[in-house]
Structure 1
Amino acid sequence: MANHSVFFLVYLLALATSLHSSTAVDYTVTNEVPTTPGGTVFDKELGVEYTRQQMESASQFIWNLFRQPDPASRKNVQSVSLFIVDNLDERFVALASNNNINVSDKSIQVEWERANRRWHLGGLTEGIADFVRLKADYVPGGWRGPGDGEHWYDGYAVTAYFLDYCEGLKSGFVAELNAKLKDGYSPDFFFQILGKTVDQLWTDYKNIPRN
């Protein structure tokens, strides 16, 4: 699972484990809206099996935290079911009732987008710092090379070399991008400056032949 999703998943598991279930609990997870944006994010980044495993682990953590090693000291719950749905009131992220947890797909999408922006901004900030070192001809041993990395926002040298590629497309690109960042981050900045999305630019960069 991508790190972006951790905060939101922890919130869901807190709801699940607040039930203080008995030891033999059947945890089930169902995505009822796999084709909505939030449902798609859930399947791609979390998934049914991972979420179910984390519900089990979180329950064990809660039992230890509240010193309930004996099943007799816990609420007698045989099953806990989590559903991803698209019909919750917009005021709610999730609702728990009768050992069922309904989670809003819209909330998953919103939290995912927010987490992505924070993650991308962090990698971009690291990359700009290393871009300065790159242009100053100070490349220490151990740096990853041009074309390395899985994502443009991996940060440090990976992002620095990608920014250097973008700088080659338009002189002053990094300065213009840096100026925009004073008001926050948007992936649209790349398109505004270079006329291509950041994903298109990353694909072009990765496809450059290298020895």
Structure 2
Amino acid sequence: MSHFYLFFSSLLTLAALQGTCGLRFDVSSVHFDVINLAGSSPGGLRFTNEIGIEKAQQIMEKTTHFIWHMLHEMNPADRKQVENVSMFIDNYIGAEAMTFGNIINWNGAGQAPIGLIEGIADYTILKANYYPPAYAKRGQGDRWDQGYDFTARFLEYCESLRGGFVAVLNKKMKDSFNVNYFVELLGKPVDQLWSEYKAKYNGS
């Protein structure tokens, strides 16, 4: 199965989940671009024949709805203002998808650890219940801000301690970041939370 197909399967799952939330958001202020750089390669042709640019744009829109709902950003004033979201279809080795440029979740005005930002983005995959077999298992990782699936799993644990934790943390990161946000929201320093998380899952 090609990398692009796995990637779009995840987007389709997010789109389907968005339809269950019962809410719609105005995304007219966001422009969605889809650029197929894979051309006449097998993956590029498969994208053109099975999905196409218009459907990909619709999926991107629905995925944006899902993320806004997940982060409790029903009010436009709560959202990071992103004018353009671009998707590039290309041939990569060893990657299903890569992201760069603007992101939808807040980054503490550049003060938050990049690993935390990556973790919040990857947490979306967990909420959608769509992640590959190689995705980090609970308890894996060396640091709470290691990034991507390792941090996403830690955030999943934090969410189990307080429902809506990730959404509230994201909102607090709109204009700044302080590691004490974990104390404010969960009553414990993040390093203690990380140790308890590792202990719960036997440091696996």
- TM-score in same-fold range (> 0.5): no
Kindly name which structure, 1 or 2, has the bigger radius of gyration based on alpha carbons.
Answer: 1
**TM-score, reference length from structure 1:** 0.42
Query: Could you say which structure has the higher helix fraction?
Result: 1
**TM-score, reference length from structure 2:** 0.44
